[in-house]
């Protein structure tokens, strides 16, 4: 069985990239542009170090945290009036049962072929953390993306500013060994920033509609099938933009970028748009 938290080649690549970007940003770009002992230099060092530290912390948590496993005792209660939606198999009408795990799957849970078990609210299996992204570590994974994008953009600004400053003050030095470092840094930072920004944008879209990557692709097919018979498909867990955000990131905006997830619940049952409408009507 796949063991989360084990060191893999992609994790080594990520850690090496973080170390390289931090070293070049602080000890080359900031030092060359402002000087480490100057006020602007110290401010940039403190800011970049804080962002890099949070990136490392959230990355480690995303690697080691269990994404959420289905309890062995879980059995769906089809007579539970508080559970209006029960996911069923695509073919037939039986409740979702995992033949490989020999257990029922709660709503939004899926079997991961790499981890060889069912994962609660599974989004995808990520090779860069050697772990599934699921119910318990999805917010951590998202927050890591935020800090990583901010760090990359900050480093890019430092790279451009330092290179312009070097060309203006000492063109001969910039054409020496440091020039190679600037080129390598640009080759690493530009595609990395673009890739992470696209990934962050994708998950902002998913969170705003309360979908996982798997549910998005399933929803595309469901919309096509519904349109084919003249119906309109609506994602059952879409509670509205703000409630979608708070259900994933937490009720307080202050904690949205903090690696905390006490608000997420058990992952066995999720509020649906049907529940949301009932609660809103009861408040009127």
Give Dmax over CA atoms of the chain in angstroms: 78
Other C-beta atoms lying within 10 Å of the C-beta of residue 236: 20
Beta strands in the chain (DSSP E): 97-98, 103-104, 110-112, 117-119, 124-126, 131-133
Taking the C-alpha atoms of residue 58 and residue 141, their distance in angstroms, rounded to an integer, is: 7
Residues 86 and 78 sit within 8 Å (Cβ to Cβ): yes
Angstrom distance (rounded) from CA 122 to CA 132: 7
Enumerate residues 6+ apart whose C-beta is below 8 A from 53: none
CA-CA-CA-CA dihedral for 53, 31, 188, 130, to nearest 10: -20
Q: Which of 198, 279, 276 is nearest to 244 (CA)?
A: 276
C-alpha angle 218-120-126 in degrees, rounded to nearest 5: 75
State the virtual CA torsion across 151, 50, 57, 266 in degrees, nearest 10. -90
Return the active site residues.
Answer: 126
């Amino acid at each position: 069985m796949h063991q989360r938290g084990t060191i893999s080649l992609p994790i080594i690549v990520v850690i090496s990239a973080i170390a390289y970007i931090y070293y070049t940003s602080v000890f080359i770009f900031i030092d060359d542009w402002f000087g480490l002992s100057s006020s602007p230099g110290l401010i940039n060092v403190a800011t970049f170090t804080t962002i890099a530290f949070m990136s490392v912390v959230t990355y480690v948590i995303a690697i080691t945290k269990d994404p959420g496993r289905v309890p062995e005792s879980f059995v769906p209660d089809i007579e539970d009036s508080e559970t209006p939606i029960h996911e069923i198999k695509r073919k037939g009408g039986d409740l979702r049962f995992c033949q490989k795990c020999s257990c029922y799957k709660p709503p939004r849970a899926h079997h991961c072929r790499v981890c060889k078990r069912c994962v609660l609210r599974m989004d995808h299996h990520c090779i860069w953390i050697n772990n599934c992204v699921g119910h318990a570590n999805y917010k951590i994974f998202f927050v890591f993306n935020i800090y990583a994008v901010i760090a990359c953009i900050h480093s890019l600004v430092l790279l451009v500013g330092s290179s312009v400053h070097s060309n203006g003050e000492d063109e001969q030095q910039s054409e020496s060994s440091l020039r190679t470092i600037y080129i390598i840094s640009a080759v690493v930072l530009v595609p990395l920033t673009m890739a992470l920004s696209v990934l962050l944008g994708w998950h902002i879209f998913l969170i705003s509609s309360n979908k996982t990557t798997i549910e998005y692709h399933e929803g595309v097919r469901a919309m096509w099938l519904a349109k084919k018979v003249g119906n309109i498909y609506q994602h059952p867990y879409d509670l509205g933009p703000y409630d979608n955000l708070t259900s994933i990131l937490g009720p307080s905006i202050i904690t949205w970028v903090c690696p905390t997830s006490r608000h997420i619940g058990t992952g066995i049952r999720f509020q649906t748009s049907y529940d949301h409408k009932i609660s809103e009507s009861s408040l009127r």
